[in-house]
Structure 1
Amino acid sequence: MSAIQSERILFIGDSITEGYRSEREHHSNQLGYGYVSFIYALLQATYPSKHYKVSNKGIGGNTIRDLQKRWQRDVLSVKPDLLFIMIGINDVWRQFDQPSTISEHVYPDEFIETYRHLVQQSSAKKIFLLSPFYIQSEKGDPMRKMMDHYGTLTKSVAQSCNISFIDLQKQTFDPLMQGLDDIEIAQDRIHPSSVGHMAIARTILTHLDYKWDN
């Protein structure tokens, strides 16, 4: 069965996934205004006979540590068919915006070990790990270099667990930055504009073999 036929799809991560969603039960904005809502809308508009149950479990400011604390409640208890995880941006960012607060820093060894443990607990039929990213075209920038490193760590977790990896930095944002200024994609280089969110949605759907000509 094609992955796109799966009905229960869960996205978990930080503020990029959250997309200003409401946590109020039955609120109309439970999917937020970002890539999760775009994916749901495109899937449902293209395959109206399917009834996709899409869940957004993104929470702003989260690191891999925060995901670990809520994994049972937000992932294991939901039992999704497809699970998408995007984490790592804040694990890197805290090392730059809070350099003296060492207790908030998540270093590579902890990142990999925690990530692998979370993935191994999940019973989802298919799991996708999405790389963290930084909207900075200068690859020598210190934060861009560290973000790329955490993307490589994410890829290593996916490979060791034999699951799918989507490199949003290389597949989505690096090509986008060739035609658009960095700030057109994300003014703070982290939180994408609607163009950036649509680019993420497009990349994910392509990995699901979404038929754009339907």
Structure 2
Amino acid sequence: MNTAKTLVCFGDSITEGVIGASYVDIVRGALPGVRVINAGINGDTVIHLLRRVERDVVAHQPDIVMIMVGLNDLTTAYGLRSSKAYYHALKNLHTQVAPRRFIHAYRQLIRQLRARTHAQIALCTLTTVGENPADPVQHLVDAYSIIVKEIAEQEGLPLIDVRAAFMRQLEAEPRLGPEYRIWVPVQDALAIKWRGASYAGLSERRGYRLRCDGAH
């Protein structure tokens, strides 16, 4: 009988880890006795997580669920027109996930996990967009991270404050890399496939330390 614990990492491209590096691989390496499932999908918001929670989380009946989501949500509400068009056309999302909707959907997700599993649930704050702590976009990332903190506190759930760790590094060593654009990951993928580039090399060329394209 297999008694290994199951951990599902549930989120967006930061969790999926195809672009840049995967924190899920690091978690998996640190927990050799745990079955770690990567349930991250590029471009997902909390709305998308709600749509697929049954298939990608409940079906595994995990012992632990770790949720990291929010960067795409704030982009749907405050991003460039091209970014909003991407979510509408390719992600079947026809509404902005502004803070009020983000809170409501996040709470729905937690309720569904509690009703359909016996898993312990841990919430993660957001990472960063770019590496300049003075960039106005950081206020948005902070705002969504504060929402996650408040939900964790109100729901009595453990919090992994990823945002605080990133900000300590950004404030100690700010970088002024180029502004992120939604099409950059596609350009990078082509450069890696056809020109032998690497995410580490692209990151260094852009002057980043923690990111490869500004968001990943």
Cα drift, residue 120 of structure 1: 1.6
Which of 122, 131, 152 is matched with 2:125 structurally? Answer: 131
Cα drift, residue 181 of structure 1: 3.8
Q: How far apart, in 1, do the equivalents of 2:120 and 2:212 lie?
A: 33
Q: 1:166 to 1:40 in 2, by over 3 A?
A: same
Aligned-CA RMSD value: 2.5
| TM-score, with structure 1 as normaliser | 0.71
Higher mean Cα deviation, 176-185 or 140-149?
Answer: 176-185
Please name the residue that 2:195 is paired with: none
Q: How far apart, in 1, do the equivalents of 2:99 and 2:174 lie?
A: 31
Q: Retained in 2: the 8 A contact 1:64–1:115?
A: yes
Equivalenced residue count is 170
Which of 146, 149, 154 is matched with 1:155 structurally? Answer: 149
Cα drift, residue 74 of structure 1: 1.0
Higher mean Cα deviation, 130-139 or 107-116?
Answer: 130-139
Q: Retained in 1: the 8 A contact 2:68–2:124?
A: yes
Q: How far apart, in 2, do the equivalents of 1:67 and 1:57 lie?
A: 9
Equivalent residue runs for 1:1-214 within 5 Å: 7-20=5-18, 33-44=21-32, 50=33, 52-94=34-76, 95-98=78-81, 103-122=94-113, 123-136=117-130, 138-170=132-164, 172-177=165-170, 178-179=172-173, 181=175, 183-191=208-216
Alpha-carbon deviations, 1:106-165, whole Å to 9, x = none?
A: 011110011011112213432111011214454442211011000011111111211011
Please name the residue that 1:29 is paired with: none
SS of 2:213 mapped into structure 1? coil
Q: Retained in 2: the 8 A contact 1:96–1:143?
A: no
Alpha-carbon deviations, 1:165-213, whole Å to 9, x = none?
A: 112111x21122214746111133210xxxxxxxxxxxxxxxxxxxxxx
Q: 1:70 to 1:187 in 2, by over 3 A?
A: same
Please name the residue that 2:183 is paired with: none
AA at the equivalent of 1:55: I
Structure 1 unpaired stretches of 5+: 22-31, 45-49, 192-214
AA at the equivalent of 1:108: P
Cα drift, residue 77 of structure 1: 1.8
Q: Retained in 2: the 8 A contact 1:6–1:81?
A: no
Identity of aligned residues (%): 29
AA at the equivalent of 2:154: S
Q: Which has more radius of gyration? A: 2
